[in-house]
Structure 1
Amino acid sequence: MSSQLPDTQDYDYDVVIVGYGPSGVTAANFLGQYGISTGVFERAVDIYSRARAVTMDDYTMRLFQQAGLDHKLMADMDPRSILRWKTYDGHEFLRVSSPDTTYGHPANSQIFQPRVEKTLREGVGRYTDSVDVHFNHEFVDITQDSDGVGLTIRDHTTNTTREVRAKYVLACDGGSSRVRSLLKMELRGKSKPTEWVIVDAKVKSWWPERDLLTFWSDPDRPVVDMPLALGHHRWELPLRSHEKREDFESREALWELLAPFGVTDEQVEILQHAFYTHHVLMADRWRKDRVFLVGDAAHMMPPWAGQGMQSGVRDAHNISWKLRLVLEGRAPDGLLDLYQAEREPHVREMTKLAEMLGFFIEEPNPTKVAIRNRALPVLQKLPGIGPVIKEFRFKPAPTVKKGFINGHVGRGTAVGRMIPQPTVATRNAHQSLLDDFLGDGFAILGFDTDPREKLTDAQITSWETLGATFRTVRSTTHAPHTDDDLIDFTNVLMPWARKHRVSVVVLRPDRFVMATDRTGLDIPRLAGTYVQSPVTAPAA
């Protein structure tokens, strides 16, 4: 496809987002921040009231920091440090603590999803000049040509339809995506037959150890017993083979489910309940011409790792910053082909993690459960594997294994890895997290050196074209030379640079290392051409 896009006057929007759940509202925040003309169409009127996602980690919060929403979101979260596995007779056989964070935010925090979505929608409200949000508008049909996408939208308020044209479309319309269905972009995988009943409650009176996320590991009925933010609590229980949804429609039946845990109406008020099945599904293709599947529209995973919603957030950020470069004419359309290549491997890793944790949570075989419950306490005491289990080190670190990077991704290399985010200081002693000084685009850091001195004039011009900022990170033994220098007073970045034997790194907008002085500091080549006239780098 050509990287030269037709004029905006032929379109209603540069980008249309179908669906305004977590993935859609995340994309709307970033596209709005970038000043991209965006239309959002959501068939519902209000935020979905059920709290489906329950946690958010430091990787995801780092993205929302870039959107300027991290502090507002954290105000409604509860950092979580401990998970435990217990039997019904009270025996605790496994306890896992959250690992130390290097990305500037708590490793894991409990959330209340409706409040999270409310905050994210308020964030989009900052961009009324570029983002139009249409509620009670249902996506009906879609067509594509070489220059754009046509959508048919039904306005349920007026009972009329309208045609909307955009350069690109983000399908954020969930696991039952109509966009995906019409474009015949099939999901492949499996769905588990067991149904789970989810009971959401509001805490009235605290009970002992209510703050610990507990997995009751019983082969007959394993249960997830978890605190949520803002005084909410949730239980997730599988239906037995002889049970059906209708058996649990009454409050009395739900209270009977909670009775084994000593919870009564004196401790909680049951707000609502729902039924879910778990899926391991992924689309073969996340892009079809000018349409991209995002979040659950592209992939679904079991909930045990708490990574489903978060994967959609990461998808939304990844495709948004790529669209920005293409729509601004600073990168060729081929950049968008790397969206799935970059995101799919991490989604698959998180899916495998969720399936592994499922064995610790929902395994129905009594023999396997007995072996598991006896083996895990022993494994925790072994010098090598014990800390890996107890400190949750088996969760894969986020990595871009292939895509818009320059160099090999492997053991000991910096390329493809997310740079740590400590608090740093400026020459005038202002302190903040690293990303707060880097803008929302590319950043080039030199370690005790001006990064420009390591680049050719042509390379500097190319990176300026992409809007890169240039910063020097100084150790505390070196005085800053300019107001743009950053002081690594917590001694995190300089040791990291020495460990990876780099003196200059190029950071992508998602803060993964794109290139280093060891791998070469050129922009990776893609099909098409890059704009060669410099643009003003974003202000710090």
Structure 2
Amino acid sequence: MKKKFDVIIVGMGPSGLVLCGLLNNYGVKVGIFEKNKSTVTEPRAVSIDDESLRILQSFSLHQAVLRNVSQNYGSHYYDAKGRLFLKVEPNSRENGFFKRNAFDQPTFERTLWKHLEKQKNVNINFSHTLVSIKNEINRVTASFVDSKGLKKSFQAKYLVGCDGGQSTVRGLIGAIMKGSSFNQNWLVVDVDKTCNFFRHTQVYCSPKRSSITLPGPHGIRRYEFKLKDGESSEKLGEDFIRKLLVSVGKDGKAKIRRSQVYQFHALISSEWKKKSVAIAGDAAHLSPPFAGQGMNSGIRDVGNLGWKLALAIKKPKSKDILETYFLERKEHCWALINLAIRMGQIMVPKNRFSSFFIVSFFRLIKINKTLLNYVSQMKYRPKPKIGRGIIYFHGKNTRNDKKLIGTLFPQPLVENIKGKESYLDDVLGNKFSLVFYIKNIDAYISFEKWLNKLSKTCKVVVLLHQSCMIFPSRYEVIRDSNNLLENSNPRVPENSVVLIRPDKLVSAIYTKNNLHYLADLLNNDEIFSF
């Protein structure tokens, strides 16, 4: 067994497995360790969103995952009398995927695991329990105990703890969780061969007992019930569980895969990185489940961290880039936790008065099409937006530019000169890139000399408006097939050069009048050529 790696990952849940896939894609040597005998065999998370799928796309695993995903489901909300008062059915695909999708975590983890075990740069180790870390500035030594009780030590340049809410790694670096926990018990029941074939989530907002039922792929379904005082886990026999299932549908006789009582938390770790050790996923934060963002936030963590680790390994002089990880992720992570708390307040009214107020409010917003669209299309979900970190302002940015910088660049379906269609990220690759967005060939001609200079550092892609015919060029020229950029918000300005990071966040925007700032930036920092 290898004793040295570039990166050690502790934990083979979604965050750890996705981080391993990202690092392998950069040629980084990874040792990944899990205390259990395999990946999970029981249901956990059930929702995967468009941003997580886009991260999986960056190492070409999205198609394999999508084979076991029920795509594009929404949520229907019902009042205490079972009357529908709100539909949330988002249909936009600004990231190339639907916003809400149902999956089975055991199948998801197994798909990732089977992919990784074929990779020569990945060393997989089950039944290894972490016991200690020697954390130094340029290296880390991790000691594990295997299933036979033998102690083994491994070295790496970096270690990342993706080892869950009870993270050993978090404790070993002295970080603590800050936030609040909720004095609510919820019973989660997962069933096989459901008789409820409704393709959307059903949310019953009743002060007597709130409950949720969520669809899944291949005939599975999840139910969640808020428990009352005195309904402890010891008293929840099968008869009680089946009565709850009958109260919200037709699955009273369905095979129960798992039933579990949970309490929910809204917590973030005080530190996410110390010397050569970082944490991600549930090790770094815990969220109530009402927004379906717990696992997705963890995948966003490693989407931010993965390329920075690869850069720090390949270009050690740029290792300080890792200090931007917590800086860039913390605000968005808190925003999603707060969203989950607010959604929980809607789903769990305290009494008949609050229930009446909530239902009346959402019925009133149907009068205003703008407000209704905001809610029904899930525009309330906070988008990733960084205000500090690896982003650049040159003093002449417009208000729209400032809104776009630090956000995810839209991912349209694009067509190349041969008529082949693909998604934009597949063209850009997994390093820094420059997207030149134009409506006509005249703009291209006026920028061509600048593009020749800039292409020495970064890949240049010419992205045409849907109305423009594709023309030959020394650069890759593609056309926005579904006109996504024209309708994006904030809008991508025409005749602009957009610097896009490996994680597809907009790092900077330039026009012809200030491209000299971009040239200076690319020439003076090695991170753009890794």
Contact kept, 8 Å, 1:32 with 1:38, in 2: the verdict is yes
Whether the 8 Å CA contact 2:498–2:510 is kept in 1: the answer is yes
Q: Distance in 1 between matches of 2:334 and 2:201?
A: 25
Matched, 1:263 2:263: no
Count of residues in correspondence between the two structures:
512
Match of 1:234? Answer: 222
For 1:426 and 1:298, the matched residues in 2 are separated by: 41
**Residues in 2 aligned to 1:133 and 1:47: alpha-carbon distance in whole angstroms:** 11
Structure 1 residues 102, 146: CA separation in 2 closer, same or farther (over 3 Å shift)? closer
Mapped partners of 2:388, 2:374: distance in 1: 27
Offset at residue 283 of structure 1 (A): 1.1
- Answer whether contact 2:246 2:252 (CA < 8 A) is retained: no
AA at the equivalent of 2:219:
G
Matched, 1:213 2:201: yes
Pick aligned residue for 2:166 from 165, 170, 176: 176
**CA distance in structure 1 between the aligned counterparts of 2:163 and 2:482, rounded to whole angstroms:** 43
Q: Do the aligned partners of residues 396 and 533 (structure 1) sit closer, same or farther apart at CA in structure 2, a change above 3 Å counting?
A: closer
1:453 aligns with 2:445: no
* Counterpart residue number, 1:132: 123
**Residue 273 of structure 1, CA deviation:** 0.5
Partner in structure 1 of residue 104 of structure 2: 112
- State whether residues 424 and 486 of structure 1, in contact with CA within 8 Å, keep that contact through their aligned partners in structure 2: yes
> 2:186, 2:226 within 8 Å by CA — same for their partners in 1?
yes
Aligned equivalents of 2:481, 2:308: Cα separation in 1 = 33
Q: Please tell me the residue identity of whatever aligns with 1:224.
A: I
Match of 1:317 in 2: 303
Paired with 1:364 and 1:49, the residues of 2 have a C-alpha distance of 35
For each residue in 1:369-396, what CA deviation from the matched residue of structure 2 results, as whole angstroms up to 9, or x when unmatched?
A: 2211222212222244222223222112
Partner of 2:26: 34
Partner Cα distance (2:198, 2:491) in 1: 44
1:264 CA drift (Å): 4.4
Whether contact under 8 Å (1:302, 1:355) holds in the other structure is yes
Q: Taking structure 1 as the reference length, what is the TM-score of the superposition?
A: 0.89
CA contact (8 A) 1:404 1:524 kept: no
For 1:251 and 1:69, the matched residues in 2 are separated by 38
Task: Judge conservation of contact 2:78–2:85 (CA < 8 Å) in 1.
Answer: yes
1:81 counterpart residue number: 73
AA matched with 2:383: A
Q: 2:90 aligns with which of 79, 90, 98?
A: 98
Give the one of 233, 240, 243 matched to 1:245: 233
Give the Cα–Cα distance (whole angstroms) in 2 for the partners of residues 332 and 318 of structure 1: 16
Matched, 1:150 2:141: yes
Q: Structure 2: how far apart are the matches of 1:165 and 1:256?
A: 53
Q: Which position in structure 2 is the counterpart of 1:419?
A: 409
- Provide closer, same or farther for how the CA distance between residues 276 and 452 of structure 1 changes in structure 2, counting only shifts above 3 A: farther
- Distance in 2 separating the partners of 1:404 and 1:279: 30
Question: Is 1:516 equivalent to 2:509 in the alignment?
Answer: yes
Where does 1:45-56 land on structure 2 (aligned, <5 Å)?
Answer: 45-56=37-48
Separation in 1 of the partners of 2:252 and 2:469? 62
Tell me the SS of whatever aligns to 1:429: coil
Conserved 8 A contact 2:33-2:126: yes
Residue 455 of structure 1 contacts residue 521 of structure 1 at CA under 8 Å; is this kept in 2?
no
Cα displacement string for residues 252-275 of structure 1 (whole angstroms, at most 9, x for unaligned residues): 121122221243445x21122111
- 1:467-506 → structure 2 map (5 Å cutoff): 468-475=458-465, 476-482=467-473, 484-493=476-485, 499-506=492-499
Following TM superposition, by how much is the alpha carbon of 1:445 offset from its aligned partner in structure 2, in angstroms? 1.3
State the match for 2:261 in structure 1. Answer: 275
* Aligned residue among 36, 41, 56 for 1:44: 36
CA distance in 2 between partners of 1:533 and 1:85 (Å): 47
Q: Percent identity?
A: 27
**Structure 1 contact 480–487 (Cα < 8 Å) conserved:** no
Amino acid corresponding to residue 183 of structure 2 in structure 1 = P
| 1:393 corresponding residue in structure 2 | 379
Q: 1:343-358 maps to which residues of 2 (within 5 A)?
A: 343-358=329-344
Code of the aligned partner of 1:20: M
| 1:464-516 deviation digits (Å, cap 9, x = unpaired) | 2xxx3211123453442236211234333467697535521111111111112
Q: CA deviation at 1:235?
A: 0.8
The alignment's C-alpha RMSD in Å is: 2.6
Deviation per CA, 1:304-337: give whole Å up to 9, x if none.
1111101111111211100111100175111000
Q: Counterparts of 2:136 and 2:32 in 1: how far apart (Å)?
A: 21
Q: Which residue of 1 aligns with 2:427?
A: 437
User: 1:105-144 CA deviation, whole Å, 9 max, x = no partner?
Assistant: 11211111111111111221231x2110100001011112
1:7-31 CA-to-partner distances (Å, cap 9, x unmatched) read xx9x711110011100000111111
Indicate conservation of the 8 Å contact 2:133/2:142, yes or no. yes
**CA drift at 1:99:** 4.2
In 2: Cα distance, 1:443 partner to 1:216 partner: 46
Note the 1:334-413 alignment, pairs <5 A: 334-407=320-393, 411-413=399-401
Q: Deviations over 1:293-313 (max 9, x none)?
A: 101111111011111101111
- Residue 5 of structure 2 corresponds to residue 19 of structure 1: no
- CA separation in 2, counterparts of 1:380 and 1:287? 46
1:251 corresponds to which letter in structure 2? E
2-structure distance, mates of 1:289, 1:330: 14
Q: Distance in 1 between matches of 2:81 and 2:479?
A: 53
Q: Report the secondary structure of 1:500's partner residue.
A: coil
Deviation at 1:238, TM superposition (A): 1.7
Is the Cα contact below 8 Å between 2:16 and 2:162 reproduced in 1?
A: yes
Aligned-partner Cα distance in 1 for 2:434–2:114: 32
| 2:183 equivalent to 1:193 | yes
**Change over 3 Å in CA distance of 1:346–1:534 after alignment to 2:** closer
- Counting helix residues as a fraction of each chain, which structure ranks higher? 2
- How far is 1:421 from its partner? 1.3
TM-score (ref. length: structure 2) = 0.90
Q: Is the 8 A contact 1:189 1:280 kept in 2?
A: yes
- Change in 2 beyond 3 A, CA 1:452/1:294: farther
Q: What residue is the counterpart of 1:5 in the other structure? A: none
Matches for 1:274-313 after TM superposition, within 5 Å: 274-313=260-299
- Decide whether the 8 Å contact of 1:406 with 1:524 is kept in 2: no
Spell out, residue by residue over 1:348-404, the C-alpha distance to the aligned partner (whole angstroms, 9 max, x if none).
Answer: 111111111111112323321221122221222224422222322211222233210
- For the residue of structure 2 that corresponds to 1:242, the secondary structure is coil
1:223 aligns with 2:211: yes
Q: Distance in 1 between matches of 2:328 and 2:491?
A: 27
Distance of aligned partners of 1:522 and 1:373 in 2 relative to their CA distance in 1, 3 Å threshold: same
The structural deviation recorded for 1:430 is 1.4
SS in 2 for 1:230: helix
Give the SS at the match of 1:280: strand
Structure-2 change in CA distance of 1:333 and 1:115 (3 Å): same
SS at match of 1:104: coil
The CA distance in 2 between the partners of 1:251 and 1:410, in whole Å, is 61
Q: Which moved more, 1:411-420 or 1:172-181?
A: 411-420
